A = this chain, B = another copy of it.
Amino acid sequence: MPVGTQGTVKALTQQMLEEAGASIILGNTYHLYLRPGLSTINQLGGLHRFMSWEHPILTDSGGFQVFSLNSIRKLSEEGVEFQSHLDGSTHFLSPERSMEIQAALGSDIVMAFDECTPFPATRDEALTSLTLTEHWARRSKLRLGELHNDPAAENAGITIVNQTQALFGINQGSTYLDLREQSLEGLVEIGFDGYAIGGLSVGEEKDAMFEVVSRIAPLMPEDRPRYLMGVGTPEDIVDAVALGVDMFDCVMPTRNARNGQLFTNRGKLNIKNARYRDDAQPIDAACRCAVCVRYSRAYLRHLYMSGEILASVLSSLHNISFYLDMMGIMRQAITLGTFIEFRDSFLSGLARGQD
């Protein structure tokens, strides 16, 4: 899922996303709640209509941003008080409030409100945190159900724009495998439409991350989507798919694009490099995206060096296309039963590097 934090996948038009084959994007509840604010989006018919995106949208719970973007906060069983990173104003987020906000946005997949356990955490801290997350998961499900069963939802001051929202629970437990299992059991008992692995890609070693994914992914219900949050590089995604993960989100393709880092079948390419000054080749000869069929490395490098907005636009479009193509190829390979062959050849291509 390309990440559209503020109701836009940075530097790309919705048409570009459609043409690149994006079938779902992610919106950040925290950012949209603060700006433009709930009433604007809700009044205009929800996030789909607001940003003119008629395909699926997943919204996160807001929890991750509350914990990562705000130093001043009060955390209790009830919820979390925080100050806006925009203007310092005070806000309160709880499982109930997160569901109301996501109901107002009208996304297709709602994430339960969780505490993203900081890393590192002691075993006790991790246990306390996942217990809180489990309580919050239960309250999330309860409140979202109420909102859907009471479309007027007068008490929340919002209009329900989408009564068929799915709800995903989030697995926590830091790097403690038994706590991860305990957390998953709790979530499955509550029952969700999909399950996510959260609290990874937050500073732990890559081995530790894959240890968790290896243990937890196979235990997640087979008939529900499995979503690994905030991951990652092409290598990480391919490895996680091999372990049974279905869904991902990451800002890497768009953020790195704006810094001149392009993804290719031969690994990363830094367009700032002087060797590309007169290079008439496309970014990736094996890529058939709208950028690779039309523009040269030399032109992209010139745009980047000149500080032109088009550098961000074209680089983001290529990187998003590269990621989406990679996912499409994996889906096809899985269907054909050739995933292992694809993985070996793809990973060795990435490792080979540019000629």
Q: Given A44-B278, A298-B50, A299-B52, is A313 in contact with B13 using a C-beta cutoff of 8 Å?
A: yes
Closest chain-B Cβ to A271's Cβ sits at a distance in Å of: 13
A302 pairs with B15, CB closer than 8 A:
no
- A-B CB contact pairs (8 Å), 29 listed: A6-B302, A6-B303, A6-B306, A6-B308, A7-B302, A10-B308, A11-B309, A11-B310, A11-B313, A13-B310, A13-B314, A14-B294, A15-B290, A15-B294, A35-B305, A35-B306, A36-B298, A36-B301, A36-B302, A36-B305, A39-B278, A40-B278, A44-B278, A44-B298, A44-B299, A50-B296, A51-B299, A309-B312, A313-B313
Is the CB of A156 closer than 8 A to any CB of chain B?
no
For the complex, give the distance between the alpha carbons of A43 and B296 in Å.
13
A148 at the B interface (CB under 8 A): no
A32's closest neighbor in chain B, by CB? B302
The distance in angstroms between the C-alpha atoms of A198 and B298, with both chains bound, is 33
Question: A40 to B8, Cβ gap below 8 A?
Answer: no
A119 adjacent to chain B (CB < 8 Å): no
**Interface residue A326 (Cβ < 8 Å from any Cβ of B):** no
CB nearest neighbor in B for A39: B278
Residue of B nearest to A279 (CB): B44
From residue A27, how far is it (CB to closest CB) to chain B in Å?
A: 12
B308–A40 CB distance below 8 A: no
For residue A277, CB closer than 8 A to chain B, the reply is yes
Assess A40 versus B302: contact at CB under 8 Å? Given A52-B294, A290-B15, A308-B10. yes
Residues of B within 8 A of A333 (CB): none
Protomer copies: 2
Chain B residues positioned under 8 Å from A15 (CB to CB): 290, 294
Q: Which residues of A contact B (CB under 8 A)?
A: 6-8, 10-15, 35-36, 39-40, 43-44, 50-52, 277-278, 280, 290, 294-296, 298-299, 301-303, 305-306, 308-310, 312-314
Alpha-carbon separation in the docked complex, A299 to B303 (Å): 27
Are A302 and B52 in contact (CB-based, < 8 A)?
no
Question: When chains A and B are docked, how far (Å) is the Cα of A311 from the Cα of B305?
Answer: 22
Query: Contacts of A35 on B, CB cut-off 8 Å?
Result: 302, 305-306
Q: Which 9 interchain pairs have the tightest Cβ spacing?
A: A11-B309, A36-B302, A8-B310, A6-B306, A52-B294, A8-B308, A40-B278, A44-B280, A52-B295
Q: Which residues of B contact A14 (CB under 8 A)?
A: 294
| CA A52 to CA B302, docked complex, whole Å | 13
Chain B CB count within 10 A is highest, among A35, A40, A294, A310, for A310
Please give me the residue from chain B that is nearest to A15 by CB atom. Answer: B290
Asked whether B310 lies within 8 Å of A44 as measured between CB atoms, the reply is no
- Write the nearest CB–CB distance from A42 to chain B, whole angstroms: 10
Measured CB to CB, the closest approach of chain B to A287, in angstroms, equals 16
Bound-state Cα–Cα, A144 to B310, Å: 32
Contact partner of A8 (CB less than 8 A), chosen from B6, B11, B12, B303, is B303
Q: Whose C-beta in chain B lies nearest to the C-beta of A86?
A: B306
B11, B299, B309, B314: the one within 8 Å of A50 (CB) = B299
Name the B residues within 8 Å of A12 (CB-CB).
310
